[in-house]
């Protein structure tokens, strides 16, 4: 009896461990896809490394639960077919074993000294970029290939590599075969220039140089590579024929003579003390470099000793990568600026002396609200520590109070709006809002939101035009946009939008937007808590603004994605006299405020939520969405734990990965159609 109980308990423990491992694997694979294949990471390296540490620990304690599909058994991402022809690796492009402490470095050195006779270690910078192998045949570059899966195949990006100035098209020695591996990266200056151009063109800014370099190298237009000024360091000899090279440093000397750009900052060490000192030296100067590094590599110098040690399926046994803690910088707080958003919320922003973090120049960071300021006790003139959350969003870590000026004073947001001087309101949270609905800052933000791509998507209606038209009295609310055509000649004469051609172009875009789906208009109205998803749900349920206006709070609350608070806010908006006047102005301008009702043919999909991703073979996504709604289901744009099915077509992206990580059922288009036919 006791034995049976013991077996049962052990079985439950093992089931729990397996669940933990499976959950960690899903999370890591999801973030791998974002990092390697989409160049759009959601979490910072330290958070990712912690997930990997947890998984490795559980697998080490339970080796019977290790599977071939585990991230610990794989290298990098998957090669993307759209970026280039897939080619086989001649030499695997493995990743490195990450370590995070001096003790782990010492253990590695100890192990190497036990297994090898008087090993030499080379310590060098770990460049934060995209790995690339270069194959030379008879002295000429024949192939450039990305890591891809690291073991079997990668992408042929030779045409693009030819545009990178640091890559030699020919080397002096005409060796039968010579393959090297390096890291493609961007200097901070080159990255800044690219983002400046992106901003001027109204395009999405890159998060950091690594993402920009990776995305650029995969471009189908090789001219873009030259324009963006990519760089490359060589950091390893993969394979050579026609000459004998015995060590890493000897290979570096040979490469340098060929005119190749090698990692110039490296040090040969014999002891643990020397290795740790070299790591520390690299860490101390990383802020002064004009490119990003994310660690220091410690590798065995002698090639014969490397051969003796070999590799696992994922990493070589002769090298490790020491990862530095997330980068933080000290700087001086120059000012705290207050801005007013479209809902009247007042946001404090720290303005400080510029510092470089994760490859970008940073001089501003949000301070969220008065509570955040009070908790940090942050004051103008303070020395502060700043960092980047997820290596993307600048944030203030803390105040160095020992360096605080003696005459500093606590910062208080105050009881008046910084734009219109109206009284402020403290809401239930920590937020402070302007009480004046006609505050110029609110109107500006409101209209910027209204014309934006997630709302009415009026092409060419930029922020400067909005500011100018507000200042000159032409825009007092979003509805005024649809009456600008009455002032065409006046606008041209004053040059507020530009000359005749530019003015007509914008007026035509405004006219065209009148036919937009009504959910876009609802999103643009800026009702608190009501974004794209909630707007779609409201329109899918009620079909028109008139029907929403007639609905009770209780009826609105029945709509998917609409909770009690959101229902109250929608009800109040549609029953406010000023808002009713605004809606009437929009109606008189013939802006579309209703959609055709899709006849529901059955309740087959009642209570089910579908998400579509990728390209479907027999229909468009809108057609599939109509079918889902006609059968009583909901078509959503994002994956969550509440999603019933994800319908995956060709080239499915991050939604598919997220569905896998959450355990959401994934079906093909054919399986979806079979479900429909069952009805």
Q: What is the CATH number of the domain that holds 155?
A: 3.30.470.30
What is the rounded distance in angstroms from the CA atom of residue 503 to the CA atom of residue 176? 63
The pLDDT score that the predictor gives to residue 292 is 84
Name the residue range of residue 486's domain. 440-513
**Alpha helices of 360-439 — where are they, by DSSP H?**
370-376
Least confident of 17-21, 202-206, 439-443, 491-495: 202-206
Q: Which of 121, 124, 142, 125 is nearest to 133 (CA)?
A: 142
Phi/psi-derived region of residue 607, left when phi > 0, alpha when psi is between -120 and 50, beta in every other case? left
Place of tokens 């000459």: 243
The pLDDT score that the predictor gives to residue 31 is 72
Place of tokens 């990266």: 185
Q: Do 272 and 314 sit in the same domain of this protein? A: yes
- Whether 604 maps to a domain, the answer reads no
CB 673 within 8 A of CB 648: no
Q: Do 529 and 641 sit in the same domain of this protein? A: no
**Residue 250 pLDDT > 90, yes or no?**
yes
| Residue 197 confidence class, pLDDT cut points 50, 70, 90 | confident
Known binding residue 323? Answer is: yes
Known binding residue 504? Answer is: no
Q: Do 59 and 98 sit in the same domain of this protein? A: no
**Residue 83 pLDDT > 70, yes or no?**
no
Q: Could you list the active site residues?
A: 126
Least confident of 5-9, 320-324, 336-340, 627-631: 5-9
Known binding residue 124? Answer is: yes
Residues 6 or more apart from 218 whose CB is under 8 A from it? 80, 83, 84, 146, 155, 157, 160
Least confident of 196-200, 330-334, 659-663: 196-200
Least confident of 192-206, 386-400, 660-674: 192-206
- CA torsion 323→326→330→336, rounded to 10°? 160
- Whether 55 maps to a domain, the answer reads yes
Please give the share of the chain, as a percent, with pLDDT higher than 90. 41
Alpha-carbon separation of residue 665 from 153, 523, 605, 641 (angstroms) = 30, 30, 15, 10
Collapse the DSSP code of 472 into the 3-class scheme (helix H, G, I; strand E, B; otherwise coil) and give the result. coil
Residues 6 or more apart from 283 whose CB is under 8 A from it? 296, 324
Known binding residue 434? Answer is: yes
Known binding residue 305? Answer is: no
Least confident of 427-431, 463-467, 577-581, 629-633: 427-431
**Residue 533 pLDDT > 70, yes or no?**
yes
The pLDDT score that the predictor gives to residue 6 is 41
Tell me the per-residue pLDDT of 626-663, one tens digit each, with 9 for 90 and over. 788 778 788 777 788 888 999 988 767 677 878 888 88
What is the CA angle 529-531-535, rounded to 5?
105
The pLDDT score that the predictor gives to residue 175 is 94
What is the rounded distance in angstroms from the CA atom of residue 232 to the CA atom of residue 239? 19
Q: Do 634 and 522 sit in the same domain of this protein? A: no
What is the rounded distance in angstroms from the CA atom of residue 638 to the CA atom of residue 653? 12
Residues 6 or more apart from 627 whose CB is under 8 A from it? 676
Tell me the per-residue pLDDT of 425-447, one tens digit each, with 9 for 90 and over. 887 667 888 888 778 788 888 89
Place of tokens 């693009």: 160
Q: Do 69 and 98 sit in the same domain of this protein? A: no
446-454: average pLDDT = 88
Residues 6 or more apart from 259 whose CB is under 8 A from it? 168, 171, 172
72-98: average pLDDT = 69
Q: Do 577 and 446 sit in the same domain of this protein? A: no
Among candidate residues 47, 73, 99, the one where a domain is terminated? 73
Q: Do 108 and 38 sit in the same domain of this protein? A: no
Q: Do 445 and 429 sit in the same domain of this protein? A: no
Q: Do 416 and 396 sit in the same domain of this protein? A: yes
Among candidate residues 13, 41, 73, the one where a domain is terminated? 73
Strongest mean pLDDT among 77-81, 97-101, 587-591? 587-591
Helix 45-61 to helix 2-32 angle (10° resolution) is 150
**Residue 7 pLDDT > 90, yes or no?**
no
Other Cβ atoms closer than 10 A to 57: 11
What is the CA angle 491-495-501, rounded to 5?
80
- Whether 595 maps to a domain, the answer reads no
Other Cβ atoms closer than 10 A to 13: 10
Known binding residue 47? Answer is: yes
User: Average pLDDT, whole number, for the chain?
Assistant: 84
Q: How many domains does the chain have?
A: 6
CB 651 within 8 A of CB 83: no
- Whether 526 maps to a domain, the answer reads yes
CB 392 within 8 A of CB 42: no
Known binding residue 98? Answer is: no
Q: Do 53 and 175 sit in the same domain of this protein? A: no
- Whether 598 maps to a domain, the answer reads no
| Residue 549 confidence class, pLDDT cut points 50, 70, 90 | very high
| Residue 10 confidence class, pLDDT cut points 50, 70, 90 | very low
Known binding residue 212? Answer is: no
Residue 613 bridge partners (DSSP): 648
Q: Which of 636, 618, 601 is nearest to 672 (CA)?
A: 618
CB 71 within 8 A of CB 55: yes
286 membership: H or E segment, kind and range:
none
Of the two residues 565 and 124, the one the predictor is more confident about is 124
**Residue 158 pLDDT > 70, yes or no?**
yes
CATH number (domain holding residue 19): 1.10.287.610
Residue 416 bridge partners (DSSP): 423
CATH number (domain holding residue 541): 1.10.150.20
**Residue 84 pLDDT > 60, yes or no?**
no
| Residue 606 confidence class, pLDDT cut points 50, 70, 90 | confident
**Residue 136 pLDDT > 90, yes or no?**
yes
Residues 6 or more apart from 530 whose CB is under 8 A from it? 522, 523, 538, 566, 569, 570
The pLDDT score that the predictor gives to residue 39 is 47
Known binding residue 398? Answer is: no
| Residue 141 confidence class, pLDDT cut points 50, 70, 90 | very high
Known binding residue 299? Answer is: yes
- Whether 597 maps to a domain, the answer reads no
Least confident of 261-265, 273-277, 516-520: 261-265
Known binding residue 45? Answer is: yes
Q: Do 69 and 94 sit in the same domain of this protein? A: no
What is the CA angle 301-73-89, rounded to 5?
60
**Alpha helices of 270-390 — where are they, by DSSP H?**
272-285, 303-309, 370-376
CATH number (domain holding residue 665): 3.40.50.10190
Known binding residue 544? Answer is: no
| Residue 617 confidence class, pLDDT cut points 50, 70, 90 | confident
**Residue 305 pLDDT > 60, yes or no?**
yes
Q: Do 226 and 168 sit in the same domain of this protein? A: yes
The pLDDT score that the predictor gives to residue 612 is 84
Among candidate residues 322, 349, 383, the one where a domain is terminated? 322
118-144: average pLDDT = 94
Known binding residue 371? Answer is: no
- Whether 603 maps to a domain, the answer reads no
Residue 136 bridge partners (DSSP): 141, 178
* 123 burial level (CB within 10 Å; 0-12, 13-18, 19+): buried
- Strands 319-322 and 293-300 turn out to be antiparallel
Tell me the per-residue pLDDT of 12-61, one tens digit each, with 9 for 90 and over. 566 677 778 887 888 777 776 665 554 455 565 556 767 777 887 777 77
φ, ψ (nearest 5 deg) of residue 350: -75, 130
CB 416 within 8 A of CB 439: no
- Whether 599 maps to a domain, the answer reads no
57-78: average pLDDT = 68
What is the CA angle 22-25-31, rounded to 5?
145
Q: Which of 22, 17, 47, 149 is nearest to 93 (CA)?
A: 149
Q: Which of 236, 256, 257 is nearest to 247 (CA)?
A: 236
């Amino acid at each position: 009896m006791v034995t049976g109980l013991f077996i049962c308990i052990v079985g439950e423990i093992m089931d729990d461990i397996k669940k933990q491992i499976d959950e960690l694997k899903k999370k890591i694979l999801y973030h791998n896809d974002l990092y390697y294949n989409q160049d759009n990471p959601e979490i910072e390296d330290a958070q990712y490394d912690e997930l990997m540490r947890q998984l490795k620990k559980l697998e080490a304690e339970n080796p019977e639960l290790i599977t071939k599909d585990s991230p610990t058994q794989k290298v990098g991402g998957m090669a993307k077919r759209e970026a280039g022809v897939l080619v086989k690796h001649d030499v695997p492009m493995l990743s490195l074993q990450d370590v995070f402490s001096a003790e782990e470095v010492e253990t590695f050195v100890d192990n190497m000294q036990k297994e090898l006779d008087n090993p030499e270690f080379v310590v060098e910078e770990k460049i934060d970029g995209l790995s690339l192998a270069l194959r030379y045949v008879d002295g000429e570059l024949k192939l450039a290939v990305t890591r891809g899966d690291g073991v079997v195949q990668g992408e042929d990006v030779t045409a693009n590599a030819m545009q990178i100035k640091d890559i030699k098209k020919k080397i002096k020695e005409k060796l039968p075969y010579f393959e090297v591996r390096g890291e493609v990266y961007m200097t901070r200056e080159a990255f800044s220039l690219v983002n400046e151009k992106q901003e001027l063109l109204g395009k999405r800014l890159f998060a950091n140089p690594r993402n920009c370099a990776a995305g650029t190298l995969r471009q189908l237009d090789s001219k873009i590579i030259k324009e963006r000024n990519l760089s490359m360091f060589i950091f390893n000899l993969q394979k050579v024929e026609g000459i004998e090279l015995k060590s890493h440093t000897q290979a570096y000397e040979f490469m340098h003579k060929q005119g190749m750009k090698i990692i110039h900052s490296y040090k040969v060490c014999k002891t643990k003390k020397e290795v740790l000192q070299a790591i520390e030296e690299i860490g101390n100067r990383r802020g002064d470099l004009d490119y990003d590094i994310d660690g220091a590599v410690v590798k065995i110098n002698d090639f014969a000793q490397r051969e003796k040690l070999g590799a696992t399926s994922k990493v070589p046994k002769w090298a490790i990568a020491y990862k530095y803690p997330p980068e933080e910088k000290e700087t001086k707080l120059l000012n705290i600026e207050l801005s007013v958003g479209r809902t009247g919320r007042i946001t404090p922003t720290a303005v400080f002396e510029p510092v470089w973090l994760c490859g970008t120049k940073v001089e501003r960071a949000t301070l969220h609200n008065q509570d955040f300021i009070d908790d940090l006790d942050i004051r103008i003139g303070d020395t502060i520590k700043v960092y980047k959350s997820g290596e993307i969003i600048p944030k203030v870590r803390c105040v160095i109070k020992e360096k605080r000026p003696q005459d500093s004073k606590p910062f208080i947001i105050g009881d008046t709006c910084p734009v219109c001087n109206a009284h402020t309101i403290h809401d239930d949270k920590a937020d402070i809002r302007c009480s004046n609905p006609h505050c110029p800052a609110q109107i500006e933000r409101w209209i910027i939101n209204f014309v934006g791509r997630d709302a009415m998507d009026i092409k060419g209606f930029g922020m400067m035009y909005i500011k100018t038209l507000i200042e000159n009295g032409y825009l007092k609310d979003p509805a005024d946009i649809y009456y600008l055509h009455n002032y065409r000649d006046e606008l041209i004469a004053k040059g507020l939008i530009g000359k005749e051609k530019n003015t007509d172009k914008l007026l035509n875009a405004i006219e065209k937007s009148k036919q937009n789906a009504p959910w876009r208009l609802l999103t643009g109205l800026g009702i608190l808590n009501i974004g794209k998803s909630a707007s779609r749900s409201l329109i899918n349920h009620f079909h028109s603004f008139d029907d929403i206006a007639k609905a009770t709070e209780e009826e609105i609350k029945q709509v998917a994605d609409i909770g009690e608070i959101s229902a109250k806010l929608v009800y109040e908006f549609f029953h406010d006299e000023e808002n009713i006047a605004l809606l009437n102005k929009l109606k008189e301008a013939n802006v579309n405020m209703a959609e055709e009702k899709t006849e529901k043919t059955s309740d087959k999909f009642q209570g089910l939520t579908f998400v579509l991703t990728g390209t479907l073979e027999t229909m468009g996504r809108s057609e599939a969405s109509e079918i889902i709604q006609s059968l009583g289901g909901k078509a959503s744009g994002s994956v969550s734990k509440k999603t019933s099915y994800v319908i995956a077509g060709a080239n499915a992206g991050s939604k598919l990965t997220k569905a896998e990580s959450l355990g959401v059922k994934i079906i093909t288009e054919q399986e979806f159609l079979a479900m429909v036919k069952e009805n």
